[in-house]
Each structure stands twice: as C-alpha cells, then as structure tokens.
C-alpha cells in the first residue's frame, strides 16, 4: 500500500503541473470569450543573481529617461525596445534570505530556503487569479542542464498556490507539448497522448475507489492526489474543445525535442511552447525559471563550458560568460515581445496588454543578503506602467511593494503583499504600490 501511495503521489504531482495548482482549480473560460481586456504577465527568473551593472547604462546614477542612454552589452538586444523598458534598482529582499536562492521567497516575498516549503502563495499565482481567466491559468517552465531536465522533468522551487502547495515547472518539452497539443497531434505524439489519457482516467477512477477504505487522515491526503488526476483529465477535455483554435499556434516538433544537441535546444523549444500558450490564449501567466530556482543550470549551446554553482562565484560585469548568458536571456525576451506584437488584440497587439518582469531568484548576486534586487520591466500592461526609464530607489522598499503594484495594475485593491504589519515595520518604510512604476 505504501508503494502504491507513493506512486500515486508522484504521478499526481507530475500531473498537477498541468494545472499549476491542482488543489485549487479555477473557473475556466477561454480568453477570446472574455469581455474584459485580456492581460497577461510573464516572469523570467534567472538564477545566480542579477548584477545591476549588467543592465544600468554607464554613468546613469539617478532616475531618468533611457531615450539617449546606451544599454550595456549584456542587454544590448533590448536597445530597439528601450521605449518599453523600465529598469529598477534599489528594491530589497533582505527578509527573504536569498543567499544561494530565495526559492519560493523570490516570488513570494517571504523567507525561503532550499527544501523549505512555501509559506504562502506567490505573486505569479495570485496574478493568474486576478487576470481574465484562461483555460490554463498559470504555466511554469524550467530550464536547466539537459541531464537535470531529463531526470527531473518537473520540479517545484519558485511558484506556489498557497502555504505548502508548490507549483511544478515543466522542463521536458516533449511532456509539455503532449499536454498542450497532444489532442491535435498525429503519429507517435497522438498515440502517447491517448495512452496517457486512458491511464490517467483509469487511475482517477481506481484511486477514488481505493481511497474510501483508508483512515480519515490518509483519506484526506489521498483525496488531494485524486484531485490532481481530475484536474489534468479535465484540462485535457477542455483543450480538446478548442482544438481548431490551438492548431493555429502549435509549434512544429523537430529534432530539438527528441534529440537535443545541447540543453539550449530544450530551452528554446520550451520558450516556444510558453509563447504559444500565451498567444493562443491558453494561459495568462507564464513563469520561466532559468536555472529552475536552484544553483544549477547550463548553457553549453552558447559555448559556456562551466555550469552550476561555479557560475555564481564569478563577477558578472564584463565577464564574457555572463555576457553570453544575459544576451541569451535578452534575445528570449525579444522573442516573447515580437511574438506578442504579431498578434492583433483590440486596437493594438497582445504586447500592448502584457508585462514582462525580468529579475533573479536571488537578488543581485550569489551569496547575497538581498540588500539590492534589480528588476527590468518590459511593456506596460495596457498603460498601467511607466516605460522608457530608469528608476533608482533608496533600498528601503521590498520586492513585495513591486508585487503590490502588479496586483493593483491587475485590479486588486491591496496595500501589501505577503507582509504583515510586524514585518512591514522592519522591512518597509511605506505602504501601497511603488509610485515610481505606476502611471
């Protein structure tokens, strides 16, 4: 019985990644049918820290316009998009104890550590509830070394739907493609999708029956696993109802999926799948974990032979290795923007109603105290955020204040995010959103 229970727990956890948070399913309405303006947010979290010198234009020490500034080499790919860029320096995350990583605390704005479960929901999940609802409210993808992505196709370190409720990241693009587009595929992908769907349906039925004979405490836990199967099976059915629509957005499967030469091949196709989920309207919130919230990660496809923890012990400014990694990130950000700009929406494009948040899961560097947490914003979420500028803060407001700003822009009336009065007295000199970022 113990082995069976562990097996079900493993499968349910993997399956629940399809919903992001299997224990709290939300009303599902396809984005094209919404009366409200569709909005979406992308979080891009690079591990090992985000040194401000890799993003702040040289000589710029005070807040001001980016119009005449020249972006540093690591983010030079964003130069054509300066009017949509907002660089923020001087937020802090001292209360998150980031060190190697803040893990769930990076997006939760609370103390995080390796192996410690989330103490509350994270901002990406809360935004997925606040924004106009979609078939899959929240999608997380994680990029790592090819070995780690193959052995651990799902992992949870960054996002959570509540205390003790982590959200899994997808790291195997074949599994994610099958989940999103298996119903409209042909050949082996379709056969695998149908076989997996049949097994999931059978396990859901059997698990529900077997769970009734367990003691009350075990039955409650068992019911949670059963809910994971129900959610993923329900998602499959709902995706099938919009199969004609999805066909317009499904990426082409090539050898990068099945025979990647480098881990960056999987990074690239994972990004393609994330973009397709946004442009098709399947999701409104995408979280990208480059390094998956851990101290690992590899970029051999960029010619970077070093990997993992050692990368965090290198100074990032003027470092050829980190220039390559940050340039790669910047090109990914451009790909997201270009894809969203190509899709008409309202009187403009999808990018007009989108905000991209780029930062790190451990502030400015490896082994940091979190005194400075640089952030870049791209886009304005339908005119809610200031763009084309650099903002230098005084280090007295936490990342929670930025997250409060995001919730305000999404229509939520809140003054603090995951910070009670006691914590705020110690770590925040004000309340409410950051006036420097909102229009």
pLDDT digits (tens, 9 = 90+) for 254-280: 999 999 999 999 999 999 999 999 999
**Residue 289 structure tokens:** 């974990």
Length of the chain: 439
CA–CA dist 282, 157 (Å, integer):
23
Residues contacting residue 189 through CB under 8 Å, at least 6 positions apart: 177, 178, 181, 182, 253
Instruction: Please give the DSSP secondary-structure letter assigned to residue 385.
Output: B
**Residue 348 structure tokens:** 């403009």
Please tell me the number of Cα atoms within 13 Å of 115 on its side-chain side.
0
Write the pLDDT tens digit of every residue in 381-435.
999 999 999 999 999 999 999 999 999 999 999 999 999 999 999 999 999 999 9
Beta-carbon count within 10 A of 258 CB: 10
Domains of the chain by residue range = 29-176+260-427
Q: Are 378 and 81 in contact (CB under 8 A)?
A: yes
Phi–psi pair at 372, nearest 5 degrees: -135, 130
Whole-number average pLDDT of the chain: 86
Q: Are 282 and 179 in contact (CB under 8 A)?
A: no
CA–CA dist 218, 204 (Å, integer):
17
Kindly tell me if the per-residue pLDDT of 311 is higher than 60.
yes
- pLDDT average, residue stretch 186-206: 54
β-bridge pairing 138-143 and 40-46: unpaired
Kindly tell me if the per-residue pLDDT of 373 is higher than 90.
yes
Instruction: Please give the DSSP secondary-structure letter assigned to residue 428.
Output: -
The CATH class, in words, for 29-176+260-427 is alpha beta
Write the pLDDT tens digit of every residue in 81-134.
999 999 999 999 999 999 899 999 999 999 999 999 999 999 999 999 999 989
Residues contacting residue 293 through CB under 8 Å, at least 6 positions apart: 45, 47, 101, 103, 106, 142, 155, 157, 158, 169, 361
Per cent of the chain over pLDDT 70 is 80
Q: What is the pTM of this model?
A: 0.86
Paired residues of 45 in beta bridges? 289, 359
Q: Which residue has the higher pLDDT, 267 or 36?
A: 267
CA–CA dist 345, 132 (Å, integer):
14
The H-assigned helical ranges of 131-281 are: 146-151, 173-181, 187-211, 216-241, 243-246, 255-258, 263-279
CA–CA dist 292, 106 (Å, integer):
12
């Amino acid at each position: 019985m113990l082995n069976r229970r562990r097996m079900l727990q493993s499968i349910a956890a993997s399956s629940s990644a399809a919903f992001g948070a299997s224990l709290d399913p939300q009303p599902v309405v396809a984005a094209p049918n919404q009366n409200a303006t569709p909005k979406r947010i992308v979080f891009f979290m690079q591990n090992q820290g985000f040194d401000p010198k890799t993003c702040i234009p040289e000589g710029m020490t005070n807040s001001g316009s980016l119009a005449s500034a020249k972006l540093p080499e690591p983010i030079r790919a964003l130069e054509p998009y300066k009017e949509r860029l907002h660089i923020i320096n001087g937020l802090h995350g001292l209360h998150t104890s980031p060190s190697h990583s803040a893990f769930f605390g990076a997006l939760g704005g609370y103390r995080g550590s390796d192996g410690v479960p989330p103490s509350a929901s994270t901002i990406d999940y809360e935004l997925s509830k606040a924004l106009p609802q979609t078939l899959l409210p929240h999608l997380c993808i994680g990029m790592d070394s090819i070995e780690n992505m193959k052995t651990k196709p799902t992992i949870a370190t960054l996002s959570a739907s509540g205390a003790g409720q982590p959200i899994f990241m997808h790291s195997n693009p074949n599994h994610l493609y099958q989940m999103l587009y298996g119903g409209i595929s042909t050949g082996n992908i379709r056969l695998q999708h149908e076989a997996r769907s049949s097994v999931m349906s059978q396990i859901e039925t059997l698990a529900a029956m077997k769970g009734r004979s367990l003691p009350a405490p075990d039955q409650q836990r068992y019911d949670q696993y059963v809910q994971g199967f129900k959610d993923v099976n329900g998602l499959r059915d709902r995706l099938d109802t919009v199969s004609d629509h999805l066909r317009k957005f499904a990426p082409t499967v090539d050898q990068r999926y099945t025979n990647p030469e480098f881990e960056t091949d999987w990074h690239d196709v994972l990004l393609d799948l994330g973009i397709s989920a946004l442009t098709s309207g399947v999701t409104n919130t995408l979280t990208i974990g480059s390094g998956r919230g851990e101290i690992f990660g590899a970029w051999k496809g960029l010619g970077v032979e070093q990997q993992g923890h050692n990368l965090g012990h290198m100074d990032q400014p003027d470092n050829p290795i980190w220039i390559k990694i940050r340039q790669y990130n910047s090109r990914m950000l451009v790909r997201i923007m270009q894809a969203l700009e190509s899709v008409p929406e309202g009187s403009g494009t999808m990018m007009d109603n989108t905000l991209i948040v780029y930062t790190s899961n451990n502030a400015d560097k490896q082994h940091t105290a979190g005194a400075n947490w640089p952030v870049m914003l791209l886009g304005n979420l339908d005119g809610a955020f200031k763009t084309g500028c650099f903002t230098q803060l005084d280090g007295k407001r936490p990342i929670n204040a930025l997250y409060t700003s995001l919730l305000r822009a999404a229509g939520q009336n809140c003054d603090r995010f995951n910070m009670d009065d006691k914590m705020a007295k110690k770590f925040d000199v004000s309340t409410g959103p950051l006036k420097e970022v909102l229009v």
